[in-house]
C-alpha cells in the first residue's frame, strides 16, 4: 500500500520530528502525489431498538454537582465514575458509565480564581483518566492519557506503559485562573476514550467571573448548557459501539468500517433524544457543546425566527457578539450563544436542526414558547477584551500534518508515543502552528488557548475568540497563534474525533 514516495516522506518526517521539520514537512506536503491513501470517513451505526418520535421528552436540565466542602480558596468535590442505568430512550433502561452514574455527568460550576479539587473515585471495571477540556491545569492534573486511575483490586493489564497510576481515587486540582468560559470534562484513557465517552463519561464545567456577571447576559434558569451528541442503541437498549473488545479491557480499536469515526442515528441533548424545551418569549443563553465522538453539526433554527448570537467561544467571551444563521460545530467545540424568542406568540415552536444531517440526524431539539415574560437581560455590543496574538511576534513556527499514513491516523507521519516529545515549546513564548489536514480533523491542544489567524479560503465567522479546538477540513490549512501561558510539563495535542485520537492521532507536548 505504501508507495515509495510515501515511505520517503515518512522517513523524512521521522528523522526531523514535529518541531524542527518545518522545511521537510512543508516540502512533502506541497507535492500532492504524496498526499494520502484513501481516508476512511466516519461510519453510521444504526440503532436496533425502536426509536421515539422527536420532541416527546422534555430537555433535561442537568443537576449541578454539590461540593463536599468549601474552604477559603477551594471547593472540594467527590465524584464517582461508575456503572449506572439511565432512561435515555423513554421506557428503555440503558446501562451507562457515568460520573456519579449519570449520562451525562453533573454540571460543575466554578468561580474564577477559586480552586476546584476534584476527588475522582472509580468503580469502573477498567482504568479511567479525567481531563478538564479547556482548563488551564497543571500537568499532573491534566489527565495525561496514561496517568491512569484504576479501581481497587484491579488485576488487568494496561495496553500501554502506564504513567502515574492511582488506585481507587485520584485528585485533580483545577486552579480556574482563567476567564469565564464553558468547559467540559471527560474521560481521556489511552486507547479507549471513544468508547468510554460514548458510554457517558462526560459533563459540563462552567467558570463564572465578575466581568461576565456584569454584562447582563441571561442567567439562572435562562442560562442552559446544551450537550449535544449522537449515539446508537442495541436491541436490548444498550449503547451500541463497535469496539473490537466489548469489555474495553485489553484490545484497543473498532471494527474496520468505523476506523474513520463512529456516528449514531440518535441525537441526544443533555442525554435525551430530540427533546423539547419550554421557553418564554425572551432571551436565553445556551452553552452548546458538541460531545459527539465524530459527528459534526451545523445548527440552524427552523423557522429562522432569530439569529443565533454567539457571545463566547471555547475558552471565553468574544470581544463582540457575532450573529449566525448557521453554526457549524465540530466535536469538542463550544459555542456560547444567545437566542431571543422575544415577540413570539405562545404556542410557537422553533426547531433546532442539523444542516449536516439527514433523516433523524437532521433533527436536534425543539423550543416551544409558552407565553410572554419580562426580560432584563441584554447583549452588549462590547463583551470582553480579547488581546489579539500577533503571529509576526512568534518565535517558533511549527507545522502539523494530520493525515492517514500507512493505515494509521498520524500527526507528521507518526502515531502517538507518550514517551516521545513531539514538540517542546517554551513557557509563554508565542508560536504559530500551521495545521494541514487530509480530512475532517477537529484539532485540540491542551493547556494553551489559541487564536485562529489564517484558514484556506479565509477565516470563518466561527473562528473568533479564544479557541482550544479548531475544525480543519479536507485539504485545508489553518494557522493558529498560541502560547503555553502557565504550566510546564507534559501535555497532549490531538484530533478530537475520538476514534482518530484512540487510534493514535495525538502528539506529546513537553512545555519547558
Q: Which is nearer to ligand C2O, 133 or 399 (CB)?
A: 133
The reply to whether 464 sits near ligand C2O by the rule CB under 6 A is no
Is residue 490 near ligand C2O by the rule CB under 6 A? no
Q: Taking CB within 5 to 8 Å according to partner kind, which of ligand C2O, Cu ion, none is near residue 188?
A: ligand C2O
Q: Please give the order of strands across the beta sheet that includes 431-437.
A: 408-411, 396-405, 431-437, 477-482, 450-455
- CB of residue 282 to Cu ion, shortest distance in Å: 34
Q: C-alpha angle with apex 91: 86 to 93, nearest 5 degrees? A: 35
Q: Which is nearer to ligand C2O, 186 or 366 (CB)?
A: 186
The DSSP element (H or E) to which 480 belongs, if any, is strand 477-482
Omega of the bond leading into 303 within 30 degrees of 0 (cis):
yes
133 is a site residue for ligand C2O (CB under 6 A): yes
**Among the residue ranges 12-20, 291-299, 459-467, 489-497, the one whose residues contact ligand C2O (CB under 6 A):** 489-497
- Residue nearer to Cu ion on the CB measure, 462 or 497: 497
Distance between CA atoms of residues 160 and 170, nearest Å:
19
Mark out the alpha helices in 138-277 (DSSP H runs).
193-198, 210-213
Helix (H, G, I), strand (E, B) or coil at 17: helix
Least distance to ligand C2O from the beta carbon of 305, Å? 33
133 binds Cu ion per the rule CB under 5 A: yes
Q: How far is the CB of 24 from ligand C2O (least distance, A)?
A: 27
Among positions 366-425, residues that touch ligand C2O (CB under 6 A) are none
Nearer to ligand C2O, 188 or 283 (CB): 188
d(CA 398, CA 20): 7
Should residue 324 be labelled a site residue for ligand C2O when binding is judged by CB under 6 A? Answer: no
What is the SS3 assignment for 263? strand
* Closer by beta carbon to Cu ion, 463 or else 501: 501
User: Which residues make beta-bridge pairs with 363?
Assistant: 353
Q: Give me 415's grid cell.
A: 502515531
Instruction: Restricting to residues 178-207, name those near ligand C2O by CB under 6 A.
Output: 186, 188
CA 268, CA 89: separation in Å to the nearest integer? 10
Q: Could you tell me if 170 and 148 are in contact, meaning their C-beta atoms sit under 8 angstroms apart?
A: no
Answer whether 301's CB lies under 8 Å from 351's CB. yes
Give me the torsion for CA of 489, 292, 165, 248, rounded to 10°.
-150
Which entry of ligand C2O, Cu ion, none binds 497, CB below 5 to 8 A by partner kind? Cu ion
Closest contact distance (angstroms) between CB of 131 and ligand C2O is 5
Partner residues linked to 76 by β-bridges: 69, 117
Check if the beta carbon of residue 395 is closer than 8 Å to that of residue 430: yes
Range list of β-strands (E), 123-218: 130-133, 149-150, 166-167, 169-174, 181-187, 202-208
Question: Do the beta carbons of residue 389 and residue 331 sit within 8 Å?
Answer: no
Least distance from Cu ion to the Cβ atom of residue 446, Å: 5
Q: Pairing state of beta strands 202-208 and 181-187?
A: antiparallel
Q: What span, in angstroms and rounded, lies between the C-alpha atoms of 236 and 302?
A: 34
Site for ligand C2O in 432-451 (CB under 6 A): 444, 446
CB closer to Cu ion, 448 vs 495: 495
When the beta carbons of 295 and 446 are compared against Cu ion, the nearer one is 446
Given ligand C2O, Cu ion, none, residue 494, with its beta carbon under 5 to 8 Å by kind, binds: ligand C2O
Which of ligand C2O, Cu ion, none has residue 290 at its interface (CB below 5 to 8 Å by kind)?
Answer: none
Q: How many whole angstroms separate alpha carbon 440 and alpha carbon 429?
A: 29
Q: Nearest distance from residue 160's CB to ligand C2O, in Å? A: 16
What string marks each residue from 410 to 449 as x (binds Cu ion by CB under 5 A) or -?
-------------------------------x----x---
**Judged by CB, which is closer to ligand C2O: 181, or 339?**
181
Q: How far is the CB of 130 from ligand C2O (least distance, A)?
A: 11
Record the cell numbers describing residue 408, joined without a space. 494509521
Residue placing its CB nearer to ligand C2O in the complex, 59 or 108: 108
Question: How far is it, in rounded angstroms, from Cα 181 to Cα 176?
Answer: 10
* Residue 495 site contact among ligand C2O, Cu ion, none (CB < 5 to 8 Å, cut-off depends on kind): Cu ion
Give whichever of 217 and 506 is closer to ligand C2O, judged by the CB atom. Answer: 506
Work out which of 332, 365, 379, 403 binds ligand C2O, going by CB under 6 A: 332
Nearer to ligand C2O, 143 or 151 (CB): 143
Alpha carbons within 13 angstroms on the beta-carbon side of residue 408 total: 16
Q: How far is the CB of 332 from ligand C2O (least distance, A)?
A: 5
Binders of ligand C2O: how many residues, by CB under 6 A? 10
Looking at the chain, how many residues does it have?
A: 512
Binding site for ligand C2O (CB under 6 A): 131, 133, 186, 188, 332, 444, 446, 492, 494, 496
Binding site for Cu ion (CB under 5 A): 133, 441, 446, 495, 497, 500
Amino acid at each position: 500500500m505504501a508507495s515509495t514516495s510515501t515511505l520517503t516522506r515518512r522517513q523524512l518526517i521521522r528523522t526531523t520530528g514535529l518541531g524542527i521539520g518545518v522545511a521537510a514537512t512543508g516540502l512533502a506536503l506541497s507535492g500532492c502525489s504524496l498526499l494520502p491513501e484513501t481516508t476512511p470517513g466516519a461510519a453510521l451505526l444504526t440503532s436496533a431498538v425502536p426509536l421515539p418520535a422527536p420532541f416527546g421528552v422534555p430537555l433535561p436540565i442537568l443537576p449541578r454537582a454539590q461540593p463536599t466542602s468549601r474552604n477559603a480558596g477551594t471547593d472540594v468535590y467527590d465524584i464517582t465514575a461508575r456503572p449506572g442505568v439511565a432512561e435515555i430512550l423513554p421506557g428503555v433502561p440503558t446501562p451507562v458509565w457515568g460520573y456519579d452514574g449519570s449520562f451525562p455527568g453533573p454540571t460543575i460550576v466554578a468561580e474564577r480564581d477559586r480552586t476546584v479539587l476534584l476527588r475522582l473515585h472509580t468503580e469502573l471495571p477498567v482504568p479511567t483518566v479525567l481531563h478538564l477540556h479547556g482548563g488551564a491545569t497543571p500537568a499532573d492534573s491534566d489527565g495525561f492519557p496514561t496517568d491512569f486511575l484504576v479501581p481497587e483490586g484491579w488485576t488487568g493489564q494496561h495496553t500501554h506503559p502506564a504513567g502515574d497510576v492511582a488506585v481507587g481515587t485520584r485528585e485533580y486540582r483545577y486552579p480556574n485562573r482563567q476567564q469565564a468560559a464553558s468547559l467540559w470534562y471527560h474521560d481521556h484513557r489511552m486507547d479507549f476514550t471513544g468508547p468510554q465517552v460514548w458510554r457517558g463519561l462526560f459533563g459540563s464545567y462552567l467558570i463564572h467571573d465578575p466581568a461576565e456577571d456584569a454584562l447582563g447576559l441571561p442567567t439562572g434558569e435562562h442560562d442552559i448548557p446544551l450537550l449535544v451528541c449522537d449515539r446508537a442503541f442495541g436491541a436490548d437498549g444498550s449503547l451500541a459501539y463497535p469496539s473490537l473488545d466489548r469489555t474495553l479491557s485489553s484490545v484497543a480499536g473498532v471494527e474496520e468500517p468505523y476506523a474513520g469515526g463512529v456516528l449514531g442515528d440518535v441525537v441526544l441533548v443533555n442525554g435525551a433524544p430530540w427533546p423539547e424545551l419550554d421557553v418564554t418569549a425572551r432571551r436565553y443563553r445556551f452553552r452548546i457543546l458538541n460531545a459527539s465522538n465524530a459527528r459534526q453539526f451545523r445548527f440552524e433554527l427552523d423557522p429562522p425566527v432569530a439569529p443565533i448570537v454567539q457571545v463566547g467561544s471555547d475558552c471565553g467571551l468574544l470581544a463582540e457578539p457575532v450573529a449566525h444563521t448557521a453554526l457549524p460545530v465540530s466535536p469538542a467545540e463550544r459555542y456560547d450563544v444567545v437566542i431571543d424568542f422575544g415577540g413570539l406568540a405562545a404556542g410557537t415552536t422553533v426547531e433546532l436542526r442539523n444542516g449536516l444531517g439527514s433523516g433523524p440526524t437532521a433533527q436536534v431539539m425543539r423550543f416551544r414558547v409558552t407565553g410572554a415574560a419580562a426580560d432584563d437581560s441584554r447583549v452588549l455590543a462590547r463583551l470582553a477584551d480579547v488581546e489579539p496574538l500577533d503571529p509576526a511576534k512568534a518565535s517558533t513556527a511549527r507545522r502539523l500534518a494530520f493525515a492517514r499514513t500507512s493505515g494509521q491516523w498520524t500527526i507528521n507521519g507518526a502515531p502517538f508515543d507518550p514517551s516521545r516529545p513531539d514538540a517542546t515549546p517554551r513557557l509563554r513564548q508565542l508560536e504559530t502552528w500551521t495545521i494541514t489536514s487530509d480530512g475532517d480533523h477537529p484539532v485540540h491542544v491542551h493547556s494553551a488557548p489559541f487564536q485562529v489567524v489564517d484558514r484556506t479560503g479565509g477565516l470563518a465567522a466561527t473562528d473568533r475568540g479564544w479557541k482550544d479546538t479548531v475544525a480543519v477540513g479536507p485539504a485545508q490549512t489553518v494557522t493558529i497563534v498560541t502560547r503555553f501561558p502557565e504550566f510546564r510539563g507534559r501535555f497532549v495535542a490531538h484530533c478530537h474525533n475520538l476514534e482518530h485520537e484512540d487510534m493514535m492521532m495525538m502528539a506529546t507536548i513537553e512545555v519547558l
